[in-house]
Structure 1
Amino acid sequence: MPNNDHEVEKNLGNRRTWRLLPGQYARRLRLRNMPLRYQLMLLFLLFAIVPSVGLGLLVNWTVERVVERQVEGHTMQLIGKVNEALNTKMENLQNMTYLIAFEPDVNAFMDEKLAGDRGGPGSSEPSIGKGDTVSEQNRLYGMKQTLQGFTTLYPEIAGIVLVNARGDYVSNEMYPRTAVNLTREEWYRRAASQPGIFTVLGQPRERNITTHVRYKDDEIVSVARSITDETTGRVKGAVLIDLKLRSVSQAARNVTLGKSGYVMVADAAGKSVYKPEHPLIDHIPASWFATGESGTFTQVVNGETLLFMYQSSTFTGWRTVGVFPTKDSISEVRQIQFYVVSFVFVVCLFGLSASLWFSRSIAQPIFRLMSYMRRAETGNLSAGRWSNRTDEIGMLGNSFNRMLNQIRQLISLNELRERQKRDAEMRSLQEHIKPHFLYNTLDTIHWMARKEGAEDVSDMVGALSRLFRIGLSKGQDYIPLHSELEHIRSYLQIQQTRYRDRLQYTLHIPEELQNLYVLKLLLQPLVENAIYHGIKGRRGPGHIGIEGKVEHGRLHLTIQDNGAGMSSERLDEMLRLLDMPMESLESTLPERTGKSYGMLNVQARLRLSFGSDYGILLHSSPGVGTRVTIVHPLMRELPATVLPPAEPEDTQNRQEKE
């Protein structure tokens, strides 16, 4: 049976162990409960992998944005150059129309003073008839030669035609297909609707007028400008210029965007003015373009995502559009992403290796330090052995050894101070006997003098005894005001014994103020100054008045005498000394502070205890006297930091005896 019970208890203990295992594993999985080496490994890996991944994502995002901005900026620059080239060509054509309009013969033709051509194909029959003079024929021929000169000078011009309001025309290369009046043409009506304004018509559609070369409609671009009367503003006719499309394509043909992108030119309706031979899109709907002179958008065309960048020309109304697949820019981004992923992988591999080495180099000395600390807990304060490491771990070990050495020194010093403390307490107990001996001796003299009838000696010894007792105040810094008044009465009683009728004094302190607490020995130094520097220097009897009152929430104690007073120079010097009491007391010049040491002492104690808002106010006049006012806070209770010591039993007995 005992063996079976033992087995049962063993099995129950194993079950309890297995029940605790999950909780123990959960606690061990917490970072703070893991061994330091594993914590350091995890932290190193965390600080290596997370920033690397974050840096990779940031670089990837930044690269995408930068590539997009670079592609967009570069494309916009190319589109702007193409747009600028087209504007330059159109400005040249506009200037050409101005030059043509300035010709006198052209003005005469527009004013219908000079006959032009009219008729069907190849007709050169004058509109006025056979009565034309040779001079008019020469002028007409001169106009054609002028137009021929422009087309020779600018080979990109396919033809120029002048049409007046009657429908007559003059041209070197162009003629109407039918006899229909040219003023009914769409291009003429558009030019006439904008008097004097240069108009880009675009590619012609089913136009009556053509050229001898017979260019196709998609091989030329037409521009026109109406010519008006300068005085009346009436439209007199129009100039039509056909521009070869190859001059437009020259500006955009050599521009390549990415691997397969290109630049095309479209009019305001979205129709293509120029496009390459194998475009990605034939026609761009006008609804795709947002409002504004430039912009960017993407559209899916035939299952492929295309990026469109465009810039409009306010001069021609055309849009220069850059078209290229988005995959052209994505390929560059993917190449950079590959580099970023490779960098992150290398950093993670290096971080894993570095974490193993760093964790071992840091954890091993810390484990050694732990063993030394456990040894110190047992009371063994001997220094441990450390390697010559100069890093923080080595400094920590050296600091630990210094700490153990200081602990040993402090223990020795503490033992020495304990012995010195016991000796000091013994001496303090012995020193306490001296004040009691002094009080008891003065009491004995006091009662012996009273017994022998020497009342004046008895009173003076009693005053001296009270003066000493209140002056010591049992070690307190704050005493009630009535105790301070009792102290000053005892002092004045002793001084009256010396000066007799030369010294008179009065005390006017309201009864309700006498329970306030004040710094001890406030009045005696100031009354002493009043006697020795005021009353003593006066001829005849002198008077000292002590008053107390409350002003603005503060206690004012005033000591006023009718002594010799101070000169203005001495008063100014005293005010400077009182403004810096501590510096004045520390002065090495006795003649500077000798006569005012007591007043400076009181001022310094007031400033140190209550701040610069409290202290002494001094007023004096030569031959009149001096008034000293102490500004003291109202203290109805003893401050918490001041604890009254226990009153000696013999002192209580002496007070009861008195």
Structure 2
Amino acid sequence: MIKSLLRLSSSLRNRIILIFFAITIVPFILFSAYAHTKSVEGIQQANATFTMSYLVQSKINLEAYVDKLNEQMNELIGDKQLQSLLEQPPASSQDEVSASVDLLNIVYQKKKQMDALQLRVYPLNADAYPTYLRALEVTSSTRKEDWFRDAANSTLPFWHLSVHGGPNNGPLVSYVKTFTSLHNRTPRGLVVADLADNHFSRFFSPTKRLQGQKFLIVDETGSIVYDSAGNQWTGELLPSAKLLEMRNVAKEGVETLSIYNEKNLIAFVRMDSLPWTILSLTPMQALSEPLAAMQHLLIFFLIAYMICTVGVVIYLTRNFTQPVFQLVKLMRKLEDGDMRMWIPHQNRKDEIGWLFRGFDSIVRKIEDLIAQSTLAERTKRELEFQVLSHQINPHFLYNTLESIRWKAENHGRNDIGEMVSALGNLLRLSLNQGKDITTVGREIEQVKAYVQIEQARIGMPLRVLYFFDEELLDMTFMRLLLQPLVENAIQHSIRGNFEKGKVILSGRVEERDLVIDITDNGKGIPEEVIKGLNETGAHRQPAGRSGVGLRNVNERLKIYFGQAYKLQIETKEGKGTKITIRHPILPTGDENQAETSGDLDLSKMEGRRSGGPGSSRSAG
């Protein structure tokens, strides 16, 4: 984040934009955020206070209702007739029917006095009362349910939730108590009072102004017993472990938590006489809804501020920073060597106009200096080559060598004749009629002539292999690049082991370049020689005999085609050397022009110095 801001602030235009935003938009946004935060906090605090008071009152009312329900159930349990009917099982079926009628009448009369959906009494000795159980629609499966077995084996009352056991397939909360005989502690039966959701909804009425507010009753295990919002979550575990932990620590509290990815203001109160906790969930979005009008007003002002700021920034950018930015781009083009760029004329009388006119004048002067320098360098090389060419008359030298070869053959010394013929061919190809550009085929002929002379001189064959496609031989190529490298390989790498030594020349085309590899299996090139190739000026060390040919070829490639076309060398002591020459593919016309003018077209070479691949890819 910090690095991104630093990069943005590096430009004058971006600085102006950042400053305007900092002094206009940022303070407004901060003030709006602060006001909104404080407003939400005030609403939360007021809502929390009101909700907590409401929950405490609901707790008192609900506990009073349950206490009364418990008293009524205890009155039923203490009924002597009920106890008498359950203490002594019926002796006959007729007595059983009579007892069942009496039990139903007792339960029915008590039900009319109780505020419950249904009241039921289950004898624990169920087999002795089949008629009564059929009237209650109790089957053997009911007695096998977990809650029935737990109640029969416990003397403590508990609450049982049936999610789909109530009216309209709704939830049903049952209050279950096991009772014993009045004379001893022998269990006699179960009393069950069923409560539907409407028995709880009378104690909780969410306000319509807070959309989404709901009240929950959660038991000691974290299961939701009652949900005021249509029992959406009834029977599920409360989806907040943190809230359950808070409930176990404190009897009441207020907290802001996320439930089902929705942020809620939650208030809770733990009941005293019941194993329940009452919760109120109010979505934060509903609390902040009254602030919507103020937010709209703030957004309107924010948009107005942004429009004004953007207008000022556009004005400054178009009239000041954009011209400066354009001038910077022109300077970068000049830095990259692009001297043909178009510089717009500025009629402005301020500092921006002075900068453009001054920059245009500087570029024109640099162009003139480069043209003069290029012309001087070209003239210098032409004069140097003429001096070398005039040291020997090529026609005189060719005729003399031909006479020597003719006389040698007349005296039966064909070996001398072949050696003189190869020397003449080597000299002819080296001079190349004073031209700097030749073809790949002529360069290979020159290498073959040199190898022939070396074989005659050392008196043993040399293994030099050539792998070039026919179409490569006619491609234009700078002269005297291959022979010095082959000579270096023969004289300094495979020398002393000509029986096993081998030099391989291979060529290929990669993209827009001609790539030639010279590979040998000799001793390798010393590391100091390779380091010396890249040294320039005062740091350049004197090259040994093994480095002269390499440096000559490397310097010529860099002078004509740029740094990207220097030699690529892979060598290892005792494992051989691989030297890669990367040469741009020149149009065929370059060679033809060189044949007529006797010189290399430097204007085309200058255009290629700034481009080209940066490295040579090794061939297998």
TM above 0.5 = no
Whichever of the two has the greater Rg, that structure is 1
TM-score band by shorter chain is 0.3 to 0.5
Please give the TM-score of this superposition, normalised by the length of structure 2. Answer: 0.42
